[in-house]
Structure 1
């Protein structure tokens, strides 16, 4: 597990470079624009969101994987006012109703307990806070069956990533109202990580 985790972290940025350039970076920028106050970037990975978080934000980057966190810390640098913490999505180091925004980008697919992670986000968010997400999700029909079939091998190779989670439904089930949603694809539609979704949700409702 340790070696696989290290190899995955080492190749992650290179593997994502094309998708980031073609589709994801512009959507990260749109998703995170206008944020202010206390922001928790959960499952921050190697720090792909950092360039798009406004400087007015007080950012806590949560990353439990030590290999990812090493690269995240290098990207933050000493001059960047970002706090990096070793914590899980299911146990955020924040008080109840104390956070202005919780950000999940390409992480709700791989958290061990998605429902617990979303409940934890709801716990720490202020009543007028925002849940921001950019995720790949389960499709329908034949493509969903393809995702189901591929899931065990994909999960082993991609550090627990699950191809077939119905993440938007899970967000609603956790007590959030999805206020904004964009569905899109990265590369050919048949790729197992499609479809993808970008959106914003608020607690309650």
Structure 2
């Protein structure tokens, strides 16, 4: 009951102001990071948690056989559909969560997650699904804010503020060690860059971006 109330009120509001809330961050460098990451997309591409579709216009015009976008949140999905109709009418849109993907094994050459693995309710299950739908020589392109493993003081604050941040951030966990999660799920990190999410609160500033394959 409380979950439905939250979704109907704050969940709806969060999706409505999401793009505006990220505007300064995008302009300060996040958009460039997304663009650089997506240059590596190839073949059959699946983006999980596509949100409002901020990545749509950044995909390369060549080298993609198909583009499939999933998003579980109904409010985000509505905005995603409207944006895709204008910017990428050939994309396939599916309302689904990352933990239970409606795709066959070994389907995709590329899976994309940008600021998604912080929010999925069960990260381990989502990573298992990514591994399942990726082809043996496939790649996972990721851009995620993460736990401050090299800053114990900041990590403590991430732990302290995790619950209120998760409420305000529509399920976002500010203290997830996503790199450890990737390695634990059997992924091999091929490329990795550690950076900061520009113009973001300190607890969500540590950022990793890169490429991983199935080991």
Question: Counterpart of 2:136?
Answer: 127
State whether structure 2 residue 30 is matched by structure 1 residue 55: no
Question: Shift in Å at residue 190 of structure 1?
Answer: 6.4
Are positions 1:3 and 2:9 aligned together? Answer: yes
Structure-2 residue corresponding to 1:82: 91
Gaps of 5+ in 2: 1-5
What's 1:46 paired with? Answer: 52
Q: Which structure 1 residue ranges, 5 or more long, are not aligned? A: none
1:189/1:50 Cα in 2 relative to 1: closer, same or farther (>3 Å)? closer
> Structure 1 segments of 4 or more deviating over 3 A?
187-190
Q: What RMSD over aligned residues (CA atoms) do the two structures have, in Å?
A: 1.4
The answer to whether the 8 A contact 1:143-1:190 is kept is no
Count of residues in Structure 1 that have an aligned counterpart in Structure 2: 204
CA contact (8 A) 1:106 1:134 kept: yes
Partner residue of 1:66?
74
Separation in 2, partners of 1:84, 1:3: 24
CA distance in 2 between partners of 1:188 and 1:11 (Å): 17
- TM-score, length-normalised on structure 2? 0.91
Match of 2:19 among 13, 16, 25: 13
* 1:13-32 superposed matches below 5 A: 13-32=19-38
